[in-house]
């Protein structure tokens, strides 16, 4: 029988970040993932944005999250040889005088100073884009190629025999003297990084997920070269994000009561109609993708040990912002697992202990 420190279940962004940091610490790990193309990490644009929403708010903990993200993705680039982290600006269209007033009054606050430039120069790509009322420019943003990162990291794990392509069968976990046996190996801990699928995990399904399905289009357009070359992302009624060459990500939609994780005709039509109102140049739709965002009710991630079985842990709840939130919290969570101490209440699984007590035991 083999032994190892950790079994990581799920190798989207969350599992990738944990596995990477554990290997850095010299830990013995194994990773298992069923490899399904409709996962959040495979569909996301990977935008890291310091200023978001209609209410124009500065993103939670951005001063800590951004440097940790840049550092981690740079280290992953060095390890894997890909280019995943791209520093970007965001050109955000404002659609009315009211919206502009809100933007100007909020971004005049000192805490926005390093993130916003007003008024921005009108970029060349606006020749291909229908203008709004005015615009703002966001600095210190980024875009992370999450599909390539997770794919390349999976390949790396495979070359080291640290990866099994399968969905974990919960019924085959055996608890032995504070450890967990799965297959032919005994682990000190199993960490679940299953994204929205944790809703169906018998130990953690009590967590209050409020998931949102999202759909996106991939388009090709030679006429959007100015946007591809600009170092900017466009936030119009939809986000338009340059990928490689003349390929662009367009999204996204929200469905708060998803029945499946498959692309739908309804959202395709919504995206197509939205895009037709944004661009005034030629483009071809080359793909449509869908996935479910793993969001928790209070919009904060959730980490920690199971209330009764401390051999089981969860690292989840990245919602709409895994690219920025994940790297910092992967480091903090491993520090907690390895050295003890407390996780902040805001992200600690213990904040939902009352929900656990009210559930039927598994």
Query: Residues 46-75 vs ligand FAD: string with x where CB under 6 A?
Result: xx----------------------------
216 sits near ligand FAD (criterion: CB under 6 A): yes
Is 239 in contact with 252 (CB distance < 8 Å)?
Answer: yes
Q: Which is nearer to ligand FAD, 119 or 231 (CB)?
A: 231
Q: Where are the beta strands (DSSP E) in the chain?
A: 2-9, 29-33, 47-48, 51-52, 57-58, 85-94, 116-117, 134-144, 163-165, 174-176, 179-182, 185-192, 212-220, 232-235, 239-242, 247-251, 284-293, 302-305, 312-316
The single residue listed with the structure tokens 């596995």 is: 19
Q: Does 208 bind ligand FAD (CB under 6 A)?
A: no
The 155-184 site mask, x for binding ligand FAD (CB under 6 A), equals ------------xx----------------
Which residues within the stretch 77-106 sit at the binding site for ligand FAD (CB under 6 A)?
A: none
Say if residues 326 and 66 touch (Cβ distance below 8 Å). Answer: no
Choose the stretch contacting ligand FAD; rule: CB under 6 A; options: 29-37, 62-70, 183-191, 263-271.
29-37
Q: How near is the Cβ of 5 to ligand FAD at its closest, in Å?
A: 18
Q: Output the smallest distance, CB 3 to ligand FAD, in A.
A: 21
Nearest distance from C-beta of residue 164 to ligand FAD, angstroms: 9
Residue number with CB closer to ligand FAD (94 or 146): 146
Bridge partners of 187? Answer: 4, 180
50, 115 contact by CB (below 8 A)? yes
Q: Which residues pair with 232 in a beta bridge?
A: 89
Give the separation between CA 183 and CA 205, rounded to whole angstroms.
Answer: 23
Interface positions with ligand FAD (CB under 6 A): 9-15, 32-34, 36, 39-41, 43-47, 146, 167-168, 193-195, 197, 214, 216, 251-252, 291, 293-294, 316, 318-324
């Amino acid at each position: 029988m083999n032994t190892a420190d950790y079994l990581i279940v799920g190798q989207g962004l969350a599992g990738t970040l944990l596995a990477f940091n554990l290997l850095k610490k010299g830990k013995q790990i194994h990773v298992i993932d069923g490899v399904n193309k409709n996962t959040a990490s495979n569909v996301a644009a990977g935008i890291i944005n310091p200023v978001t929403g209609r209410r124009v708010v500065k993103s939670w903990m951005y001063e800590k999250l951004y440097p940790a993200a840049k550092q981690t993705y740079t280290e992953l680039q060095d390890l894997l040889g890909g280019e995943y982290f791209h520093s970007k600006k965001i050109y955000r269209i404002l659609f009315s005088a009211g919206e502009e007033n809100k933007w100007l009054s909020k971004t005049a606050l000192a805490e926005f100073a390093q993130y916003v430039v007003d008024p921005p120069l009108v970029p060349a790509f606006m020749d291909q884009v229908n203008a709004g009322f005015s615009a703002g420019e966001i600095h210190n943003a980024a875009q992370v190629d999450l599909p390539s990162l997770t794919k390349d990291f999976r390949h790396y794990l495979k070359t080291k025999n640290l990866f099994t392509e399968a969905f974990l069968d919960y019924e085959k976990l055996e608890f032995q003297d504070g450890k967990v046996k799965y297959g032919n190996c005994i682990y000190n801990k199993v960490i679940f990084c299953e994204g929205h699928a944790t809703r169906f995990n018998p130990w953690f399904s009590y967590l209050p997920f409020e998931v949102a399905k999202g759909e996106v289009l991939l388009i090709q357009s030679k006429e959007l070269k100015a946007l591809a070359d600009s170092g900017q992302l466009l936030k119009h009624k939809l986000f338009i994000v340059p990928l490689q060459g003349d390929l662009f990500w367009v999204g996204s939609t929200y469905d708060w009561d998803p029945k499946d994780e498959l692309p739908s005709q309804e959202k395709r039509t919504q995206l197509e109609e939205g895009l037709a109102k944004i661009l005034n140049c030629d483009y071809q739709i080359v793909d449509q993708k869908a996935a479910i965002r793993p969001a928790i009710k209070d919009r904060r991630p959730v980490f920690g040990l199971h209330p009764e079985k401390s051999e089981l842990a969860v690292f989840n709840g990245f919602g709409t912002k895994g690219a920025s939130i994940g790297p910092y919290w992967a480091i903090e969570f491993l520090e907690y697992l390895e050295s003890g101490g407390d996780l902040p209440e805001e992200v600690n699984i213990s904040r939902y202990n009352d929900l656990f007590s009210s559930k039927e035991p598994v």
